[in-house]
């Protein structure tokens, strides 16, 4: 058995193997058993393998699901193969600088922690572990409406202003109450999520839930998330299907926080967001778990950047697993890049130190990509550093990138 597993690990690292899921599954199990120290983990795919040994199937299903057949989820990864890096040589890269200031938020890296709900399902430290890791490594953090932990406690753990992601409820007075609470806790920006007006079909989550033989009532008590404390959520929807672009103006009348519109995928919507006063736009398909578009976030970025025209900053998320992925997004017009599942894998695997390891790995890979491409500072990374092949490259996603 040991020899077979060693052989499977060899195959998983081989570019010749592209789609054998049975092999990938056993490699994941092998890594999950073997890696017990976060310093041993060499990339985020290995971190996912470790997380799968710790996180219950139903909870892992919630984290890793896409919608329908997960085509958009896969497109988020495959889309990066459409773009190739064009490195420059004999540039002085002895000193590199990845510091950013995004709407007043200072960070040591353009890699931000995306809002991911219910982090208590992955580790007892929950959002506090993620916030402390972000603080330790100098990364910015956005907290989910669906956070397991109160916004005030997370802001205190971070020790610096965070941003708050907002699901617009079907009762405007509740939306206002959430905005006011987030602002009082020290949040400096609110990220209005607009890509779930009609629900979603999370089949992978349903399939993985079947594999979980626990009593769900042990961790799902029906208690609302902390942000809804004091609000009677009976009959209140989390997403408001009646919203239109005037919501930006209404929010700006309610809060002094910057208003960021999260869920932009096309140029016309990006232009409308700026026209109606958005302080930034966030290119996102909700990690492949909103509408099954079969289009990767990175493939949406160029048209959004062209429509924005530098008038407001741009964030992007969706499938980022490598420093080279981050580099490509910065070259195509993004100012910051959000990661979600990778740091939650780190959280599920090792708690705060696992999140720190994920941030270290992706930051290291970004620095390698910058130095190898001749771009010592972020503002040197321009469109001339990537080539758009116009198509996704067949066989670009290996088994080790599917873990």
Residues involved in catalysis: 286
The token pair at 208 is 């993985």
* DSSP 8-class letter at 122: T
* DSSP 8-class letter at 114: P
Query: Among residues 111, 119, 184, 123, which one has the least CA distance to residue 145?
Result: 119
- The 10 Å Cβ neighbour count of residue 339 is 26
Q: What is the pairing mode between strands 83-85 and 100-102?
A: unpaired
Q: Name the residue with tokens 């708050």.
A: 164
Residues 6 or more apart whose Cβ sits within 8 Å of residue 92: 376
Q: What is the pairing mode between strands 105-107 and 100-102?
A: antiparallel
The token pair at 280 is 């930034």
**34: Cα separation from own chain's centroid:** 27
Q: What is the pairing mode between strands 280-283 and 189-193?
A: unpaired
Residues 6 or more apart whose Cβ sits within 8 Å of residue 247: 168, 192
| Cβ-contact 291, 337 below 8 angstroms | no
Instruction: Determine the Cα–Cα distance for residues 330 and 333; give it in Å rounded to an integer.
Output: 5
Burial of 213 (0-12, 13-18, 19+ CB in 10 A): exposed
């Amino acid at each position: 058995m040991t020899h077979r597993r060693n052989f499977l690990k060899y195959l998983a690292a081989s570019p010749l193997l592209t789609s054998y899921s049975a092999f990938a599954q056993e490699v994941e199990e092998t890594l999950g058993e073997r890696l017990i120290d976060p310093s041993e983990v060499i990339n985020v795919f290995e971190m996912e393998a470790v997380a799968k040994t710790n996180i219950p199937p139903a909870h892992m299903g919630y984290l890793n699901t896409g919608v329908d057949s997960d085509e958009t989820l896969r497109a988020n990864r495959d889309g990066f193969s459409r773009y190739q890096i064009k490195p420059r040589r004999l540039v002085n890269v002895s000193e590199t600088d990845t510091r950013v200031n995004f709407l007043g938020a200072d960070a040591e890296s353009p890699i931000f922690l995306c809002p991911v709900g219910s982090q208590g399902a992955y580790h007892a430290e929950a959002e506090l572990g993620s916030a402390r890791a972000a603080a330790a490594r100098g990364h910015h953090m956005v907290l989910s409406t669906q956070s397991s932990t109160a916004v005030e406690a997370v802001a205190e753990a971070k020790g610096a202003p965070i941003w708050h992601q907002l699901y617009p409820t079907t009762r405007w007075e509740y939306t206002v109450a959430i905005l006011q609470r987030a602002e009082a806790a020290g949040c400096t920006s609110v990220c209005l999520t607009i890509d779930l007006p009609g629900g979603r079909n999370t089949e992978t989550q349903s399939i993985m839930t079947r594999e979980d033989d626990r009593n769900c009532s042990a961790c799902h008590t029906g208690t609302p998330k902390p942000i809804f404390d004091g609000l009677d959520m009976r009959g209140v929807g989390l997403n408001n299907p009646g919203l239109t672009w005037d919501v930006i103006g209404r929010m700006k009348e309610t809060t002094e926080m910057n208003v960021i519109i999260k869920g932009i995928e096309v140029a016309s919507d990006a232009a409308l967001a700026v026209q109606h006063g958005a302080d930034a736009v966030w290119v996102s398909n909700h990690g492949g778990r909103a509408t099954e578009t079969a289009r990767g976030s990175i493939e949406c970025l160029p048209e959004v950047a062209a429509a924005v025209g530098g008038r407001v900053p741009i964030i992007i998320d969706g499938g980022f697993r490598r420093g080279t992925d981050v580099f490509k997004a910065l070259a195509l017009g993004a100012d910051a890049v959000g990661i979600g599942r990778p740091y939650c894998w780190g959280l599920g695997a090792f708690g705060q130190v696992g999140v720190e390891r994920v941030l270290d790995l992706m930051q290291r890979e970004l620095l390698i990509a910058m130095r190898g491409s001749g771009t010592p500072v972020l503002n040197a990374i321009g469109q001339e550093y990537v080539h758009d092949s116009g198509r996704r490259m067949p066989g670009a996603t290996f088994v080790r990138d599917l873990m």
